[in-house]
Chain A
Amino acid sequence: MTASPAKLDSKERGAAPVALLAELTHRCPLGCPYCSNPLALDARAGELDTAEWARVFSQAAQLGVLHAHLSGGEPAARHDLAEIIAHCAKAGLYTNLITSGIGLTQDRIKELADAGLDHAQLSIQDSDAPSADRIAGYKGAFSRKQAVAQWITRVGLPLTVNAVIHQANIGRAGKMVRLAVALGARRVEIAHTQYYGWGLLNRAALMPSRAAADAAIAEVEALKKTYAGVIVIDHVIPDYHARYPKACMGGWAKRGLNVTPSGRALPCHAAETIPDLVFWNVRDRSIEDIWTNSPAFNAFRGTDWMLEPCRSCPRKTIDYGGCRCQALALTGDAREADPVCHLSPHHDKVLKVAVLAAQGEDAGGADAYSYRRMKSREPA
């Protein structure tokens, strides 16, 4: 073994990533105002080609990655999607397609299943069609998704439905679980909006009142019992109202990595909001080299980087100080404790936002959305 450049014990350095989230493209027909993609979207011209993605997935599998999440943007916008899936399957990776459904046809879904796709995850925006289309900024999205769900289950692929919860649909969180059951999903993700990127830009129009959030959380938790053995409900509750922060990403650079359409490797999808982090590109470096040596991946690995109150906190290896991007967004310093934590000296900043929401701040809802759109001019 050669000496390692950073002060990390071999256990932290040695753990292989479990998952790779591949943003195959940032192109997407929908404009959801809470999109997890960055505000500055990658243009088509800079996207990794088929051979480059194939190399990335081979290297990832070699390193120990188990799950390949094929995401975007809308991954179906890539004409080589089936080819990419076939390559992942050959490499032994478990493939999960994360899709809006737009751009998929019955034949295309069969082609993807035949290529070795293991699982499909379909987003829905609401259980009410006009509202769903308004949130997506795409007329007809809701009805199209009903058809796509049917095609997915018809070819025998397991289906997860995922829904992001916010002001405009929070009263129908339970109905969305029921819709997922009706669509034949084996699993449903009900995730309250996280406020990064587009979500942060649209926070005033998205954040629900505390009372509405509490009611929705109780309703969905109760449905876990109702639907035990029928559908698995994964519930991501809003952290602005929590006492302790979430263990973001299961710990920085601990479980997985993200590759952008143009090949930048990130410890999480929002990591580029943190200034001065140096991201390596899969065009220049191997996945193993990036995972082990990239400055961005080592910046917040382990616990050495922590400030107080995290440094002496007994929970530091439980929640890893929470989310670095949220710490930066709300305190100005990514090394601070996530201010969601009640022990953070900046906790009042979270309270202020949560109190505004609790007072029923209404910034116009859907009328005030800044829809997620590409800024650059390019042919679709």
Chain B
Amino acid sequence: MMRTSHTDIAWKPCLARGVRLKYDETRREWLLLAPERVIKADAIAVEILKRCDGTATFAAIVDDLAAQFSAGRARVETDVRALLEELAAKRMVDV
């Protein structure tokens, strides 16, 4: 896994231009659309990505998810970081 500066709590993650989170009525599922790519987004990924609006910080997104789903903060942080780093490696999330 690529290690970057994404652990920075001030990081404000955002889907890269040309990457869209879309609910597809035909398939009845959430999809991440990117150049030549269609990736199914599971329920957890959708909750994370909906919050990546370029204004909320990484730390705030983790806090919000932990509060809303009554989950341990450390666990949530691991999930959020794993997803965003994976997408950053694919150039789908702006660093």
Whether B31 is near chain A, meaning CB under 8 Å from some CB there, is yes
Prevailing SS type, chain A contact patch: loop
A121 x B22 contact (CB < 8 A): no
Q: How large is the interface on B (under 10, 10 to 19, 20 to 34, 35 or more residues)?
A: 20 to 34
Q: A66-B24, A66-B31 are in contact. Are A186 and B89 (CB under 8 A)?
A: no
Q: Which of B16, B22, B27 contacts A186 (CB 8 A)?
A: B16
Q: Which of A16, A63, A96, A229 contacts B4 (CB 8 A)?
A: A229
Whether B36 is near chain A, meaning CB under 8 Å from some CB there, is yes
Whether A67 is near chain B, meaning CB under 8 Å from some CB there, is yes
Please give me the residue from chain B that is nearest to A160 by CB atom: B35
**Chain B neighbourhood of A232, CB < 8 A:** 90-91
- Per-position binary interface string of chain B over residues 7-30, scored 1 when its CB falls under 8 Å from any chain A CB and 0 otherwise: 000000000111110101011000
Q: Which of B17, B27, B33, B36 contacts A157 (CB 8 A)?
A: B17
Whether A295 is near chain B, meaning CB under 8 Å from some CB there, is no
- Which residues of B from 34 to 93 have beta carbons under 8 Å from A? 35-36, 38, 88-91
Q: Which of B2, B33, B91 contacts A67 (CB 8 A)?
A: B33
A66 x B17 contact (CB < 8 A): no
Prevailing SS type, chain B contact patch: loop
- Per-position binary interface string of chain A over residues 146-162, scored 1 when its CB falls under 8 Å from any chain B CB and 0 otherwise: 00000000001110100
Interface positions of A (Cβ within 8 A of B) = 16, 18, 63-64, 66-67, 92, 94, 96, 118-119, 121, 156-158, 160, 186-187, 228-232, 234
* Pairs A–B under 8 Å by Cβ, sample size 28: A16-B26, A16-B27, A63-B26, A64-B24, A64-B26, A64-B27, A66-B24, A66-B31, A66-B38, A67-B38, A94-B33, A118-B18, A118-B20, A119-B35, A121-B35, A157-B17, A158-B16, A158-B17, A160-B35, A160-B36, A186-B18, A186-B35, A187-B35, A187-B36, A187-B91, A229-B88, A230-B91, A232-B91
Known pairs A67-B36, A67-B38, A158-B35 / 9 extra A-B pairs, C-beta < 8 Å? A16-B27, A66-B38, A92-B22, A119-B18, A157-B17, A157-B18, A160-B35, A186-B18, A187-B35
